Amino acid sequence: MVTAEELAYGMERESVAKGPLEIFEGGGQVVTDRDDRQTVGEPFVDNPRVSARNVNVYYDEKHAIHDVSLDLGENEVLAMIGPSGCGKSTFLRCLNRMNDTVASCRVTGKINFDGEDINSPKIDVVPLRAQVGMVFQKPNPFPKSIYENIAFGARIHGLARHRYELDEIVEGSLQRAGLWDEVKDRLEQPGTGLSGGQQQRLCIARTIAVSPEVILMDEPCSALDPIATAKIEELIDELRKQFTIAIVTHSMQQAARVSQRTAYFHLGDLIEAGDTKTVFTTPRHRLTEDYITGRFG
């Protein structure tokens, strides 16, 4: 649920220009020592969409994620930040079982999506991935036309019985991704011919075309220039009204701009989670403070 405070914060954000960390002022009270790896803050929310409990991930013998418990609330953007190799992408990929494609990867713990354990043998991974969509770090449009890129998901899930229904899905998705006006005259041209930012918005449109409930974004802007990044950030803010979004990012400014809650990962541990404003202005863990003040990262 969105708290009143979050709403107020969101409004405040609207009014302030999209600066980096300056939107938050005031110093924090650091309470937890560097060596303590217990999660501090508020990793849990009321009525979560996705809730992960005691998730451990192993690549062969390597223990990549240690006992992470974190909730993803309805219609919120959760940003996951942390230095490279801290396990934030791995955790994200657990949420729609994309780690199944990595042969050496083993996941333990419980991840509930709408109250059901997604790792249970009863769950079919195909509808799960349709409900929990994913946008990847590098734009990966299929080598097909723009139209076919969007229609792909609708076709494999049988969402449209007639051509006009498919047309509606394609147009609607492109419009929600803010790409319609740029590509409406060249839907038959290859999606790979678009610019990087357009390709990424195409991938987002492709994801929302199958009407997911949760969208996972793995550093969606890291391959893009600042203007394309700004467009995607606007889009994320817009999409929050309909979807629940988890975004991994290397840019703290981006996390501060687009998210309502932030989770800070460090070497496979979830160090701190909570309201974005709180995490950035009054971090409770020494490591979080070190990271957001740029002492390492």
Partner 1 sequence: MQSTTLIVVLLALSAAGFYMGRRKAFQVSGNDIRTLNSLPSYYGYYTAMWCGIPALIVFSLWSMLDGRAIMAMATSSIADSGVSAQEMSLVYSEVLRFVSGSTIGEPQPHIVEAVARYRELQDTSNAALIVIVLSIAIAGTAFALGKIRRDQRVRNSVEAGVMVFLIACSTIAIFTTIGIVLSVLFESIRFFQKVSFTDFIFGLEWSPQTAIRSDQVGSTGAFGAIPLFAGTLLISFIAMVVAAPIGLMSAIYLAEYASARLRSYAKPLLEILAGIPTVVYGFFAALVVAPFFRNTGGLIGLDVSSESALAAGLVMGIMVIPFISSLSDDVITAVPQALRDGALGLGATQSETIRRVVIPAALPGIVGGMLLAVSRAIGETMIVVMAAGLSANLTANPLEAVTTVTVQIVTLLVGDQEFDSAKTLAAFALGLMLFLSTLVLNVIALHVVRKYREQYE
CA atoms within 13 A on the CB side of 111: 22
What is the spatial order of strands in the sheet that 116-117 belongs to?
62-73, 48-59, 105-113, 116-117
Q: How far is the CB of 131 from partner 1 (least distance, A)?
A: 8
Residue ranges in 125-144 that form contacts with partner 1 under rule CB under 8 A? 126-131, 133-134, 136, 138, 140-144
Alpha-carbon gap, residue 250 to 255, rounded angstroms: 8
| Residue 121, amino acid | P
Which residue, 40 or 204, has its beta carbon nearer to partner 1? 204
Which is closer to partner 1, CB of 110 or CB of 144? Answer: 144
Round to whole Å and give the CA distance between 5 and 47.
Answer: 17
Q: How far is the CB of 140 from partner 1 (least distance, A)?
A: 4
- Using the contact rule CB under 8 A, the part of the chain among 21-29, 35-43, 151-159, 273-281 near partner 1 is 151-159
Binding residues for partner 1 restricted to 174-233, rule: CB under 8 A: 190, 192, 203, 206-207, 210
Interface residues for partner 1 in 74-113 (CB under 8 A)? 96, 98, 101, 103
The residue within the footprint of partner 1, chosen from 156, 168, 184, 186 (CB under 8 A), is: 156
DSSP for 165-220? HHHHHHHHHHHHTT-HHHHTT-TTSBGGGS-HHHHHHHHHHHHHTT--SEEEEEST
Give the residues lining the site for partner 1 (CB under 8 A).
Answer: 96, 98, 101, 103, 126-131, 133-134, 136, 138, 140-144, 152-153, 155-157, 190, 192, 203, 206-207, 210
